[in-house]
Amino acid sequence: MSRSRFQTFVALRYLMAHPMHVSWLALIVAGMAAVTGGVLTAIVHFAFTAPDPRALVQEVSPLRQGLAQAGGIAFAVAGVCVYVFLIRIFFTFYSTVSIVGVSIGCAALVTVLSIMNGFEADLRVKILGSNAHLQVSKDDGEFVEWEEVRAKIDRVPGVVASTPFATSEVVIAANSNYSNVVVKGIDVASATRVTALRKNLADPEALGRLEPLVPDPMEPPEALPDAPADPDAIDPAPADLPTAGDPVDWSDPSAGPPAVDPAPDDFAEGAEVDPDAKPRDLSGTATPADLDAAARLPSRVQTLSGVLVGRELRKTMHTFEGQEVRLVSPLSDPMNPDANGTPIPFNRDYRVAGEFFTGMYEYDLKLVYVSLESLQRFLRLGDAVDGIEVRIQSPDDVDAMAKRISAAIGPEYHVQGWRELNRNLFSALKLEKIAMFMILAIIIIVASFSIVGTLIMTVIEKARQIALLKTLGASDLEIVVVFVTQGSLIGFIGGTLGVGIGLGLCLYLKTFGYPIPAEVYYIDRLPVQVDYLTCGLIYVAALVISFAATIYPSILGAQLRPAVGLKKA
């Protein structure tokens, strides 16, 4: 037998239990915990979901949630005790403590970091669903030449689509409620190719309702310019305007403005009002009944441009589809003051055209969509936009694509990727992952101290055997190798089992899921995304920490003199 095989044999001999040992204590504790978890689970499923109205509490009560969590903890304790029972069969008590400590630390790291990766991936999907991969803006001046710039962007290899946009902070008012929101003007034809807006809509047909349902007879076909091209020009009067001496017969319908059929008024005198009636929801597939409901909207509302609101904003403002709302901008027109000479802020009435749900609370509460042309008229922007959103083939290549697009359009335009636009959020998530790794790694470090204690106890207990080995010619280095091998085997076995258990838990969570409050996290189960590189780093960290824990006990065993060891025996 070679020296290396002999040293490994001695290390395993010190590590393994001879004979095999059955830990009845661990088995009893596992049974008690399993019974407790089963009882709590039965209480939750039978007592709190019974059809009897005299049940103690409702299904969503804190007591039910507390009992369910206690049952889950009891089953977890039972699983850990069964795991300890199985490990104790093959290894000594001290070795079992060290192996279990290392494996629990590795399993916790793999599971927690995989869940955090899942939350990050879910957040990334939601952000990229509401925003483009790249955003192009102009540093100085108004961005009026966006069509030429967009044509250059579309010619860059790797670009899938682009769309112009404009944004502004406004106040939305409805039902005596007010809320600060960000209004975003979009080009409907191209925005759906850049973002997942159509997918996020409760009714994809709502995009077609952003335009007025009927043309406004009081608004000219073309939007009025912000200022006349020639200040001295005078707008001539219509040719059919009556002169001062011509009488007007108002009984003749042709003499006045075009007649508009009045919309039915539920609150008109003599009308029967249903107190339980609710506003009709016009979302969904356009059916004849829906078209008829749209036609029954007041004439003024039919002529308004549409606005898409988020689900959380709809709940806060108590709005419904087809309702008239008002957007008020902090910008003002100095040429349009009130009676006191104060400029009146820009304001415009809109009609709620639909609802969207992104899964991001801030977006669903603080973002509304209107058509780009409508927002340009509202804010007196003319043909200017705030920027161009770009979708590329691979979001991971955003930095390289930003350089290509910047080189194609010139230095006067600023190109930002989704990582840069959301730098604070993703930096916080990365810092949180690093902190979590360091905190959970303490479990492995604590387990490494048990490795130190195990090896020191082995040196004390095996002093006679160490003395005999040194008497037979074993060198100090060979004694060091024996204890380093023993500690490394603890790290190897614990790390392998821990990473395997962690991957198994991740597979279970991905397959069956673990329910979480959807009203809080906007998802109904824990998201899990396994990063195998991270798992490899965890495994290597467990091996390194376990190896470092063997250095001092190994040196202590090598310094044992044969005479002292034989005398202790």
Task: Reply yes or no: is the peptide bond before residue 212 cis, omega within 30 of 0.
Answer: no
Per the structure block, which two tokens stand in for 160? 């899938």
First to last CA, the chain: 27
- Based on the domain organization, do 341 and 467 belong to the same domain? no
- Based on the domain organization, do 396 and 493 belong to the same domain? no
The answer as to whether 58 is a domain residue is yes
Q: What is the pLDDT of residues 384-418, one digit of tens each?
A: 999 999 999 988 889 899 999 999 998 889 999 98
Sign of the four-CA dihedral 390, 393, 396, 402: negative
Which backbone phi and psi does 477 adopt, to 5 degrees?
A: -65, -40
- Based on the domain organization, do 371 and 438 belong to the same domain? no
- Based on the domain organization, do 465 and 399 belong to the same domain? no
Q: Is 157:403 a contact under the CB 8 Å cutoff?
A: no
The answer as to whether 274 is a domain residue is no
Q: Tell me, what amino acid is at 555? A: I
- Based on the domain organization, do 290 and 347 belong to the same domain? yes
Determine the average pLDDT of the residues in 245-254: 48
**How confident is the model at residue 127, as a pLDDT?**
86
Cα separation of 286 and 306, whole Å?
16
What pTM does this model have? 0.72
- Based on the domain organization, do 493 and 349 belong to the same domain? no
The answer as to whether 253 is a domain residue is no
CA count, 13 A, side-chain hemisphere, 518 = 5
- Based on the domain organization, do 214 and 288 belong to the same domain? yes
- Among residues 409, 516, 452, 524, the alpha carbon closest in space to that of 147 is found at 409
- Based on the domain organization, do 192 and 70 belong to the same domain? no
- Based on the domain organization, do 463 and 361 belong to the same domain? no
The answer as to whether 525 is a domain residue is yes
- Based on the domain organization, do 215 and 148 belong to the same domain? yes
The answer as to whether 48 is a domain residue is yes
Cα separation of 129 and 356, whole Å?
12
The answer as to whether 62 is a domain residue is yes
- Based on the domain organization, do 556 and 497 belong to the same domain? yes
The answer as to whether 275 is a domain residue is no
Q: What is the pLDDT of residues 135-193, one digit of tens each?
A: 999 988 889 999 999 999 999 999 999 999 999 999 999 888 889 999 999 998 899 89
Q: Is 443:87 a contact under the CB 8 Å cutoff?
A: no
- Based on the domain organization, do 492 and 544 belong to the same domain? yes
- Among residues 198, 196, 213, the alpha carbon closest in space to that of 306 is found at 213
Determine the average pLDDT of the residues in 354-373: 91
Determine the average pLDDT of the residues in 52-62: 49
| Other CB atoms within 10 A of residue 353 CB | 28
User: What pairing do the DSSP bridges indicate for beta strands 367-371 and 387-392?
Assistant: unpaired
Domain boundary among 384, 411, 438: 411
The answer as to whether 417 is a domain residue is no
Q: What share of the chain has pLDDT > 70, as a percent?
A: 79
Residue range(s) defining the domain that contains residue 64:
19-90
